[in-house]
Amino acid sequence: MENILALLIVGAVAGWLSSLIMKNKNLSLVGYLVLGVIGAVVGGWVFHLLQLSVNGLIGAIISATIGAMIVIWLVQAIWKKKL
């Protein structure tokens, strides 16, 4: 139960931070949460590929934020191509 709560908190913070950095502020709290959780998966995968380790809450937030920024960038690139 604690792990799920930690994942939700990290996801919400990471989604919010990545939206601020990428200037994509039109999401709701649920949107930030979904973006952050997907970002955590992507960030964990990227950090694993680069053989970087993530420790603690701050490391998890950084990894998830970077992953969420990658997700935002990919979605924007695909969206612009379709238009």
Domain coordinates in residue numbering, the chain:
2-82
Q: What is the number of other CB atoms lying within 10 angstroms of the CB of residue 20? A: 11
> What are the pLDDT digits (tens) for 1-48?
678 888 888 988 998 999 889 887 777 888 888 889 999 999 999 999
Mean pLDDT across the stretch 36-63? 92
- Residue 82 reports pLDDT greater than 70: no
Contacts 24+ apart (CB under 8 A), 46-52: 46/70
pTM of the model: 0.86
Q: Which long-range contacts (CB under 8 A, 24 or more apart) does 21-25 make?
A: 21/65, 21/69, 22/69, 22/72, 22/73, 22/76, 24/72, 24/76
